[in-house]
Chains A and B, each alone.
Chain A
Amino acid sequence: MTLLQIAALAGVAIGGGAVVVATNPLRQTLVLSVYGMALTMLFFVFQAPDVALSEIVVSTVGLPVMILLALRKVREHEQERREEKQ
């Protein structure tokens, strides 16, 4: 195992932990995206460039967009419910 591979594994371990620790969903989405980049590096240094490409497009484009738009919708809901109460 090369030094680069150890560094990539450590990056994934730290990134995965960071996603769990983040409590604010908005912040968590961005941390998840960074974690996806760490996974991409992992696949790349372990010589799986096809998987790395799939990971980078899903974790930096597909997933965060859908989570962020869903979060916006949830916020709108909460705001309306608060207005109804007042």
Chain B
Amino acid sequence: MSRKARLVLFAVAAAGFGVVLVYGLAGLPAFGDYKGVYGNVINGLGVTVRHATDLVTALNFDIRAFDTLGEEFILFASVLGVVLILREMREEQQRPAQEESEEHTFSGASEALRALSLGVIPGLLVIGVYIVVHGQLTPGGGFQGGVILAAGPLAVFLAGRYLRMKIVAPHTLVEIGEAAGAAGYVLVGFGGLVFAGVFLKNFLPLGATGHLLSGGQLAVASVAVGLEVSGAFVIAFSEFLDQAIAVRGGPES
């Protein structure tokens, strides 16, 4: 296609898009003028029926928990794909053992980066656990807390300890954690099926609103997702790190 034809095509498409966009924007409600019914219903039900003060988490892990099940397994499947592809490549092109020992410290790390990384590790772990277990009370939940927890082993690597990262977060343990998190969420669902008659329906005591042990099964589901997400991210990080540090070259070299 010539440059002129491309420009003509772009002009037509852009004009059409512009018309639809302006038409759509003109029909929007005024800023801050919420007309939905669903949100108001959730606001009314979340605290009284579910004893959860963070309604977004209540929505994710209870009212629409089935959607979250699907999202969780999207992450699980994609990490599985990364592992399958990258490990296959790694086995073929692992560097010789003696060369590897020198590579185990991340030589690019400056003293300041090392000190800072070591300093933030406890903070990351505390914030991560806090956000995972307080999902039903304050903003956050399994996903956000899980990624923060996964940043802990990453900080160990940034502190210049590639090998130490493997000791802090061994592959087998992280894999078991990820699988246990994914399975845990499904088990919570089956608990609802067995004890309450409906998949993912709450079957645990709801507890006092605003307390740590409240919200029934949605708090348990949030912790399961936290485990799954932190495991998934640690696996993905460590596979990428192995590729960048321990494996030389690519598929065709």
Contact = CB atoms under 8 A, between A and B. Distances in A.
Interface of A: 1, 49-50, 52-54, 57-58, 61-62, 65-66, 69-70, 72-73, 76-77, 80
A65 B154 contact: yes
Contacts of B250: 73, 76-77
Interface of A is mostly: helix
B143 A54 contact: yes
Contacts of B140: 50, 53
B236 A50 contact: no
Given A53-B144, A69-B241, A61 B154 contact: yes
Contacts of A61: 147-148, 150-151, 154, 233
Nearest to B140: A53
Given A62-B147, A77-B249, A50 B141 contact: yes
Interface residues of B, number: 27
B117 interface: no
Nearest to A48: B56
Best-surrounded residue of B57, B139, B141 (most CB of chain A within 10 A): B139
Given A49-B139, A50-B140, A65-B237, A76 B147 contact: no
A49 B244 CA distance: 35
Given A50-B139, A62-B147, 9 more contacts: A53-B131, A53-B139, A54-B144, A57-B151, A61-B147, A69-B243, A73-B243, A76-B248, A77-B249
A66 to B, nearest CB: 6
Contacts of B241: 69
28 contacts: A50-B56, A50-B57, A50-B139, A50-B141, A52-B139, A53-B139, A53-B140, A53-B144, A54-B143, A54-B144, A57-B144, A57-B147, A57-B148, A61-B147, A61-B150, A61-B154, A65-B154, A65-B240, A66-B236, A66-B237, A66-B240, A69-B240, A69-B241, A69-B243, A72-B244, A73-B250, A77-B253, A80-B249
8 cross-chain pairs, A with B, having the tightest CB-CB distances, nearest first? A49-B139, A57-B147, A50-B56, A69-B240, A53-B144, A69-B244, A72-B244, A50-B139
Interface in B199-251: 233, 236-237, 240-241, 243-244, 248-250
Given A50-B57, A65-B154, A80-B253, A73 B139 contact: no
A46 to B, nearest CB: 10
Contacts of A72: 244
